[in-house]
Amino acid sequence: MEVIYTLIPGMIFFGLVFVGVLFWAIRKGQYEDLEGDAHRILLDEDEPAGKKEGQRTKRVGLNYPDQD
């Protein structure tokens, strides 16, 4: 029973900290563009100059299982 006297104020403190972080994120603009990333992932990237259709470019440092 005595531990509840420590847990309740501690949880209130953490709750206030999380609410403060939420307001800080809103004020910094973290939630302004909710649709941008969702649409951006669907767009195709431009092909690099000089790449012919059907030709693969090898990227250094990436491991693709279908490339030899």
pLDDT at 26: 92
Q: What's the one-letter identity of residue 21?
A: V
Q: Residue 33 has what pLDDT?
A: 79
**Domain around 12:** 4-31
| Reported confidence tier of residue 42, pLDDT bands at 50, 70, 90 | confident
**Within-domain flag for 12:** yes
CA angle 63, 65, 68 (to 5 degrees): 85
Q: Does the residue 20 lie in any domain? A: yes
What pLDDT band is residue 38 in, cutting at 50, 70 and 90? confident
Domain count, the chain: 1
Residue 45 has pLDDT above 60, yes or no: yes
Give the pLDDT score at 56: 60
In a domain, 40, yes or no: no
